[in-house]
Amino acid sequence: MVGILLLTHAPLGNAFIEAATHVFRGRPERLEAIDVRADQDPVEVNKLASEAIRRLDVGAGVLVITDVMGGTPSNCTLRLCDPGHIDIIAGISLPMLLRALTYRNDTLDVVVEMALAGGQSGAVRVDNRVRLGPS
Sorted by where each begins, the domain ranges of the chain are 3-121
Q: Which fold has domain 3-121?
A: Rossmann fold (3.40.50)
Q: Encode pLDDT of 19-75 as tens digits.
A: 999 999 999 999 999 999 999 999 999 999 999 999 999 999 999 999 999 999 999
Angle at 50 between CA 44 and CA 53, to 5 degrees: 140
pTM of the predicted model as reported, rounded to 2 decimal places: 0.92
CA dihedral 131, 118, 5, 14 (to 10 degrees): -10
Q: What is the pLDDT of residue 79?
A: 87
Other Cβ atoms closer than 10 A to 41: 10
